[in-house]
Structure 1
Amino acid sequence: MHELAITQSVVDAVCEKAAGRTVHSVRVQVGALTAVVADSMQFCFELVTEGTVAHGARLDIDHSPGSAQCRECGTTFSLTDLVLLCPCGSADVEVTSGRELRILSMEVS
């Protein structure tokens, strides 16, 4: 369950930036190709915020779809998993989105 370590890192960064202020919400972007399960991340968020300035905060997760472009035929196509094959059959593709995992914003007071 790598979501626990990822979520702990998010909470650590948020608490550091909050500098003692209360965190009300955190918004993260999670790409479809990161293999992060959103429900697991939500569960872990509640656990790791316990006793921090982010305790009781809401976690909002924005999902970004996976996409790639074929270097052979130039086609841009959607990716739903890590099978990196163009519809033309080529495996010479460049992933253009879906690997994002970042904190977008946080609300503090």
Structure 2
Amino acid sequence: MPKLQRLRTDAFHAQKGRCCYCSLPMWNASPDELKPFGLPARTANPLRCTAEHLVAQQDGGKDVAGNIAAACWLCNSRRHKRKSPPSPEAYRAFVQKRLAKGKWHPPWVAKLRRR
């Protein structure tokens, strides 16, 4: 198993399968992992587990355990699409505020928040 994949999997288990930003359950190996939550595999892609570099590689972040967290694909991609990605702490606060307003995940994904 490649190093980054192992670090992602370790973070996934340490976080009990929850995204470090939105706290929703994620899938690591197969979208079928979300079936117990009532989410069909075909709609689970936004919750695919990704390796989140807390300090981006372009800013000198390394592939080491202390710099890798597990984040769902949606949260990870949205953070890094910004011109100047916020710190992980500031981004988590932003995501949590948007979640509270129901304006982060698509409706079929947002229902997992209640579980």
TM-score range, shorter chain: under 0.3
Higher relative contact order (CA 8 A, sep 6+): 1
Q: Which of the two has higher C-alpha Rg?
A: 1
TM-score, normalising length: structure 2: 0.26
TM-score (norm 1): 0.27
Higher helix share: 2
Determine which structure has the larger strand proportion and give its number. Answer: 1
